[in-house]
Amino acid sequence: MRNQRYLSVHLGIATRSHREKGRGRSVGVTLAIILGFSGLVPALGQMTQDTSATSDTLPKINADGWTSAEVCGECHQSIFAVWRESLHSKAWSNPIFQASYRRCTDTFGKEQSRVCLSCHTPTIRHGNDFDVENTVTSEGITCDFCHSVSSIDLSDKADPFRITVGKTKYGPLHHAQSPAHETINSQLHTRSEFCATCHEYQNANGVTIFGTYSEWKQSSYAKKGKQCQDCHMPLVPGRVVALNVKRKTNSSVNLHDISGSHDIDRVRKAVTLDLVGYEWLSEQAWVYVKVANVGSGHCFPTGLPKHKAVLEVTIHNGSELVGRREIPFEVVMLDKDRRLLKQEHEILVKAASIRSDTRLKPDEVRIIDISFRNIKATRLVLNAQLYYMYSTEALVEKDGQQLFEPVEMKFLVASRRSTMKPLGH
């Protein structure tokens, strides 16, 4: 149930929970996604009458400013349906972000917290709507922002985006045409550098708070040319535009769910867990566990330092717990006085050094040696369980008041079990 609570708050959408082979699993299911990518897309396109486009019937693209995603969705129906349920669309409204943003503003002031808005509601980069008064600003990482980026300059830490706001839209399709706006092919939208603008952040102290892009750049994935979009925006069956807009439409489209750590199945595919072996002599035992980052082109976990994984190894004598060890995979950050930072808004602003980083690098295989002492038994059962964890808070409204509510996420990624016997038996 904690998984379900976390995902409901984190994604801002309703979820349904079911059990699969004894492990908890929460899945967000929407009719929009089914219609957009399950082979029923033609029906979605036919929901609108097939008429010739005229200047009166075309979507109203804002020539002088940002265009709402609702307008984009008039033609790009299946893409919009999936994006609307994504975490990107809720980058501003997400209660977890709202809590951290409010804490940052209250603690460090508006000027300091505005750095958060530059990625969570990036349309402020043109128009300076820092109070989020306009609807398009509250749409988070909205369609028009990404498709108005003409180039980027990663050496410009303050503002790496080069934006052309108006009726020209940039995207990865070759020879694309639209009666509603100008289109320009942009291969930048297929490269990891596009994602780096928000998924790489150093604070004023020069500390890399999250470095997903640099982690990828140093990996074998980058050397092989495998981009962020290949995993997080894969091509799936679907239409770029509705049937009434264009008869001959694309049979595939990039998935705009852009899922990451909030996708439990994706996390479970990232790492493997195996029991390599054990030794048990007299009253001492040694257990050897192998964990490997096999499915992510960045560290596991990546992103904000509050995300971590924990390997829990236990041994039981019957029903009695006789040994327990925990091994974390995490980044631990300190302020300038070497004090441990525990809250996200403090980490973002005050982190001055990294005390430790025990995360798994891309392709890393790690053998972990765990010892137990004072074991008094003749037969033991060994359990190794790897959990993904996130402890934070959400800003929620109750009885007309806004309150900070703790949010705990802990879900099982992988587990192994074995019976142990002493050497010589």
Distance of CA 231 to the CA centre of its chain: 12
User: What span, in angstroms and rounded, lies between the C-alpha atoms of 348 and 351?
Assistant: 6
Beta bridge partners of 40: none
Of the candidate ranges 88-92, 236-240, 270-274, the one whose mean pLDDT is the lowest: 236-240
What confidence score (pLDDT) does residue 246 get? 59
Q: What are phi and psi of 106, to 5 degrees?
A: -65, -35
**Is 159 within 8 Å of 124 (Cβ atoms)?**
no
What confidence score (pLDDT) does residue 282 get? 84
For residue range 207-221, what is the model confidence (pLDDT) as tens digits? 999 999 999 999 999
- The more confidently predicted of residues 226 and 11 is 226
Cβ count near 401 (within 10 Å): 7
pLDDT band for position 424 (cuts 50, 70, 90): low
User: What span, in angstroms and rounded, lies between the C-alpha atoms of 164 and 148?
Assistant: 5
Q: Which amino acid is at 153?
A: D
What confidence score (pLDDT) does residue 138 get? 97
User: What span, in angstroms and rounded, lies between the C-alpha atoms of 348 and 335?
Assistant: 10
Residue 156 has pLDDT above 70, yes or no: yes
Residue 365 has pLDDT above 60, yes or no: yes
Q: What angle do CA 186, 190, 191 make, to 5 degrees?
A: 110
Count of all residues that appear for the chain in the document: 425
Cα–Cα distance list, 410 to 219, 308, 347 (Å)? 28, 10, 21
DSSP per-residue string spanning 308-329: EEEEEEEEEETTEEEEEEEEEE
Of the candidate ranges 1-15, 72-86, 168-182, 307-321, the one whose mean pLDDT is the lowest: 1-15
For residue range 186-208, what is the model confidence (pLDDT) as tens digits? 999 999 999 999 999 999 999 99
SS3 state at 230? helix
For residue range 22-75, what is the model confidence (pLDDT) as tens digits? 343 333 322 233 223 333 222 233 333 333 455 567 889 999 999 999 999 999
What confidence score (pLDDT) does residue 261 get? 87
Question: How are beta strands 182-185 and 149-152 bridged, if at all?
Answer: unpaired
What confidence score (pLDDT) does residue 58 get? 84
**Is 375 within 8 Å of 322 (Cβ atoms)?**
yes
For range 9-31, the mean pLDDT: 34
The sign of the torsion formed by the CA atoms of 25, 30, 35, 37 equals negative
Q: Domains plus CATH for the chain?
A: 50-191+227-254 (no CATH), 264-420 (2.60.40)
What confidence score (pLDDT) does residue 248 get? 55
Considering the chain, what percentage of its residues have pLDDT values greater than 70? 84
**Is 404 within 8 Å of 325 (Cβ atoms)?**
no
Q: What angle do CA 277, 281, 284 make, to 5 degrees?
A: 90
Give me 58's structure tokens: 């075309």
Residue 372 has pLDDT above 70, yes or no: yes
Residue 14 has pLDDT above 50, yes or no: no
DSSP state, 104?
Answer: H
What confidence score (pLDDT) does residue 41 get? 29
Q: Left, alpha or beta for 238 (phi > 0: left; psi -120 to 50: alpha)?
A: left
User: What span, in angstroms and rounded, lies between the C-alpha atoms of 384 and 274?
Assistant: 8
Q: Which of 254, 209, 247 is nearest to 231 (CA)?
A: 254
User: What span, in angstroms and rounded, lies between the C-alpha atoms of 230 and 245?
Assistant: 28
